[in-house]
Amino acid sequence: MSQDLMKMLEQAFEESIKLYQERGFQRRVGFGKRPALVSVDLANAWTRPGNPFTCDQEKMDNEIIPGMQKLLKAFRAANLPVIHVTTAYEITDRNAPFTDMGLWHDKIPIDVVDLADKELWAIDSRIAPVKGEYTLLKKRASSFHGTELAGILRANNVDTILVTGVTACACVRQTICDGIADGFRPIAVKECIGDRVPGAVAWNLFDIDAKFGDVESVDTCIDYLNSLAK
């Protein structure tokens, strides 16, 4: 992100903070007693170059993936639930009389994420699932919409979701919004969330922190996980 754009966003944040705090926003939902990691769309079509869905590669390679590796290490050490979320479609012909794409293909090129091409929707090998972790296939922006996510989290006594992934303005944001609506404490892990569009991450994390969940650093989240292990 350019320095000029960041400066403009910071000015907007300063004004917005005043308004939000005067009106009682930016409260803390806090960490609960049993967290799960919900990693949204950190699959090859988003994390690697050459796809319409490819996100900012510099941030992906230098911040998101290393941050995810640290988080996964802490979750695995504490034996806590990890859910890897990805997106793909079985019927990608836009002219077909029936398709699992719904109407979303009328807005974005989801037809390129073909279920038949596993390499596209497979979780990035740098953060690949290990035995005991679950890979959830979704069809819409939210990881909760039309999926089993809420049910399996409740069945495993989860009250807090640490949300990572892409994109900040769509699938991550919708997952967090639906997460708090379904009664989970959403924590957006700052360094592990990305997007394709400059400024989208900063603005959405600011707005999420004001209304839908807490934005916390990787290190703060790892300290929390370590405290549970003790």
Rounded Cα distance, 165 and 170, in Å: 10
Q: What b/e string do you get for 158-181 counting C-beta neighbours within 10 Å, with b at 16 or more?
A: bebbbbbbbbbbbbbbbbbbbbbe
List residues bridging with 134 in a β-sheet.
83
Tally Cβ neighbours within 10 Å of residue 99: 17
Catalytic, 171? Answer yes
The residue ranges of DSSP E strands in 33-129, in sequence order, are: 35-40, 82-87
Say which of 55, 169, 171, 221 is annotated catalytic. Answer: 171
Rounded Cα distance, 67 and 64, in Å: 5
Show which residues are catalytic.
171
